[in-house]
Homo-oligomer: A and B are copies of this chain.
């Protein structure tokens, strides 16, 4: 197996997908943002706008997924059939899971990873005035289906 984005002379290269069929492809990625428990408690208080922080993060993540090919230089443009992000708010972290679908000729793992990353950055931005020690972690691919390589789980 070789680096698909580097040609034989070691130069960067985009992968030629002109011979690949468009089929349903799905990817799911996850990550989390560590926060002070008090920050999360404040986000969760009745009447407090947790929904708005997470809604903002979700929208930013979806917009970023659609913009992936302009952020990651060698990614292909892919019109997404669906992009979704769900959050699991725990005691000291918010877990972020993004799922992306396309019917085009190459996989959407970078779109899912980008959605998670930008959603996490948006939570960071909205909470940074009250929490100086946040940390974004463990962004990884969970599953990928469609195309020739279906990965069901990372092994770290």
Contacts and interface: CB of A to CB of B under 8 A. Distances in A.
Contacts of A55: 11-12, 51-52, 55-56
A145 to B, nearest CB: 12
Given A70-B63, A71-B64, A136 B31 contact: yes
A105 interface: yes
A81 interface: yes
A58 interface: yes
A71 B60 contact: yes
A129 B1 contact: yes
A89 interface: no
Contacts of A114: 121
Q: Chain A interface residue count: which class?
A: 35 or more
A41 to B, nearest CB: 13
B74 A77 contact: no
B74 A126 contact: yes
Nearest to A81: B18
6 contacts: A5-B129, A60-B73, A73-B122, A77-B80, A114-B121, A120-B139
Given A10-B52, A76-B79, A79-B104, 18 more contacts: A2-B129, A6-B49, A6-B126, A11-B58, A13-B84, A18-B102, A31-B136, A34-B156, A55-B55, A59-B74, A60-B71, A60-B72, A66-B69, A72-B125, A75-B125, A103-B105, A113-B136, A117-B118
